[in-house]
Amino acid sequence: MKSMFGKVKISELCESNFILLNYYLFFYFMIIPRTLKGFRDFLPEIMLPREKLIERASKIFRSYGFCPIDTPSLEYLEILQGKGSEETDRQLYKFEDHGGRQVGLRFDLTVPLARYVSQHFSELTFPFKRYHIGKVWRGENTQAGRYREFMQCDFDIIGTKSIVSDIEVALIINTLLESIDLKSNSSFDRFKIRVNNRKILTGLLDKNNILDKSTSLLRALDKLNKIGKQAVINEMVSVAEVNSEQAEQVLELVMLQGTNDDILLSLQKILSGNLIGESGVDELSQFIKAVVAAGVPAGRIVVDVSIARGLDYYTGMIYETFLDELPKIGSVCSGGRYDDLASVYTKQELPGVGGSLGLDRLISAMEELGMIEKVSATVDVFMPFFVNLRLEDYLRFLSELKSDGVNIEFYPESKKIGHQLKYADKRGFKLAVIVGEDEFQKGTCQIKNLQTGESIEVSQESTAKKIKELLS
C-alpha cells in the first residue's frame, strides 16, 4: 500500500493509529489535579511546623487549666445562621443533606461552643474552660493569609462575667505569641495586643440616641483600616441611616490617638454621664493595669478604640493581635467577651470570653518572615542502606538504636551513597549513620554531620550515646 506514509503494512498503520488514539483519549479524559480557590495543600515542610504550633498551643492551653473538646464540622443551619453577622451568613457553605435537612459548615468554633454548652449544660462544671482546634469554612474573598478553609485554635471560659477571665485571655494570647520560636536563632516577640471594650462605643451610641443603629455602625467601623475614614462615614450615613454629624462623632471617638492613659482620659470625658460607656472605660482601665501587673510588657498592650470586631455577638472586652513587621496580614489572634450568645439555645445564663489563634494566617506570616526552617524529616538521624546481604544486621542495629532512644530513618533500597545522601540532604536530616561491609566487620559506624560534612568513627555500642551528644 502506498500513501502519505510510504510503503507500510495496513496492520502497522492500524496499530500506529490505535496508539495515537489511546494517547489522545488519555489526555482528553485525564483529570487535571488542582485545588479549589481559597483552599490550600500543605507540603511536609509547612505541615511539620504547623503541627508544632498546634502542639505548643495545646500545651499552653492545658497549662492554664483548659480541657479539649470537639464538635461536628456540620451543624443544622439554624444553629449557625444569624449568629455572626450578615457577612458571615453570606459566606456560609450551606446545602441540603441526604436526609433533606438544611445544614452548614461551621464558620467559627464559638457558635458551635454555645450550642455545645447549652446542650451539655448538666454534664459540665462551670466556669467551663475549653480549647478546640479544628477547621472552619468561610466563602470569603481570598487574599494574603486568608483562606476559605482554615484552622482555628480557640480557647474560651464559659460561665463567668469576672474580669479575671478577660485578663487571663490576654495573658494566654501573650504566652502563645511569645512561645513561637521554630528556629533556634529566631525570636518572635514583635507584636502588639490591641484592646478595646464594646461598651465604650455602645455608650456613645446610647448617649446620642442611635443605639438601635449599632449593628450597622459596628460593621462599617470594622472596615476602617480597609476602606478609610470617608468611605466609612458614607456607609454609616447610607446604610446605618445616621446623619453626618453623628457619624463624625463616632469616628472621632474611634480614632483617638495617644498613650493608653491619654486615650482613657479622653474616653472618660467623652462618655461622662453615660453608665454603659463609663463602665466600659472603667473595665478597660482595670484590665490594662492588671495585665501589665501580670508581666505583659506595658508597650505591648495598646488601647485601640477603632477595634470593633465584625461579629455581632461581642459585648465587652475585645482583642486583636498584630505583627509589627506584617500589620497588613491582619490579626493573628483575636477574641473577646460575649455574654448573650447562648441565650438563643437555653434559658441558662452562660456568659463567655475567649480568643482564637489564626494558625494558617500565622504560618503565612512566618513563611514571609523567613521563620520556618524548610525540612520534611520527622527525625534527625538517617541511615543509608549499602549491603543487600547485611539487611538483617542493619535491622538489628536499627532496633538497638531505637531501643536506646534514637529516632532514625532507614533508606529502603541499596542505592549509591551519593543518591541516598542527596535524599537525606533534601529531607533535612542532621546526622547520617553510615555502616558498610568494613564497618560491620569492625563493629563500628561513621556518624556524619550533614550540615558540616564532618565524620567521626565510633563503636556500634556507643553510637546512641554519641548521637545524643551531637544532637544536644
Q: In the structure grid, which three cell numbers stand for residue 1, read together?
A: 500500500
Name which CATH class applies to 44-368: alpha beta
Closest to 254 measured CA to CA, from 329, 202, 315, 332: 202
284 by Cβ neighbours in 10 Å (0-12 / 13-18 / 19+) ranks as: buried
- Greater pLDDT, 330 or 30: 330
Q: In the structure grid, which three cell numbers stand for residue 230, read together?
A: 470617608
pTM above 0.85, yes or no: no
Whether the predicted pLDDT of 87 surpasses 70: yes
Position 88, amino acid: T
pLDDT at site 327: 85
pLDDT at site 276: 94
Q: Give the best-scoring range by mean pLDDT among 51-55, 226-230, 338-342.
A: 51-55
Q: Does domain 381-471 have CATH number 3.40.50.800?
A: yes
Average pLDDT over residues 168-177: 96
Q: CA-CA distance, 75 to 104, in Å (whole number)? A: 6
Average pLDDT over residues 46-68: 95
Whether the predicted pLDDT of 455 surpasses 50: yes
Model confidence pLDDT, tens digit, residues 395-427: 999 999 999 999 999 999 999 989 999 999 999
Model confidence pLDDT, tens digit, residues 362-382: 888 888 888 888 888 999 999
Handedness of CA 383, 421, 427, 176 (dihedral sign): positive
- Greater pLDDT, 13 or 222: 222
Least confident of 55-64, 105-114, 228-237, 455-464: 228-237
Least confident of 151-160, 176-185, 226-235: 176-185
pLDDT at site 230: 85
The distance of Cα 285 from the centroid of its chain, to the nearest Å, equals 30
- Greater pLDDT, 217 or 338: 338
149 by Cβ neighbours in 10 Å (0-12 / 13-18 / 19+) ranks as: middle
pLDDT at site 243: 86
455-459 and 444-449 beta bridge pairing: antiparallel
Average pLDDT over residues 108-133: 95
Whole-number average pLDDT of the chain: 88
Query: Looking at the DSSP assignment, which residues form a beta bridge with residue 94?
Result: 104
Q: CA-CA distance, 282 to 328, in Å (whole number)? A: 31
Whether the predicted pLDDT of 260 surpasses 50: yes
Least confident of 169-173, 189-193, 466-470: 189-193
Average pLDDT over residues 6-18: 57
Model confidence pLDDT, tens digit, residues 235-254: 888 887 888 888 888 888 88
* Domain spans, the chain: 1-33, 44-368, 381-471
Q: Percentage of residues in the chain with pLDDT exceeding 90?
A: 62
Average pLDDT over residues 158-174: 96
Helix axis angle for 391-403 and 463-471, nearest 10°, is 60
pLDDT at site 235: 86
Least confident of 13-22, 121-130, 159-168, 221-230: 13-22
Model confidence pLDDT, tens digit, residues 286-316: 999 999 999 999 999 999 998 876 556 789 9
Whether the predicted pLDDT of 82 surpasses 60: yes
pLDDT at site 251: 84
pLDDT at site 4: 45
Whether the predicted pLDDT of 217 surpasses 90: no
Query: Looking at the DSSP assignment, which residues form a beta bridge with residue 149?
Result: 137
Q: CA-CA distance, 149 to 144, in Å (whole number)? A: 13
pLDDT at site 182: 41
Q: Percentage of residues in the chain with pLDDT exceeding 70?
A: 92
Whether the predicted pLDDT of 2 surpasses 50: no
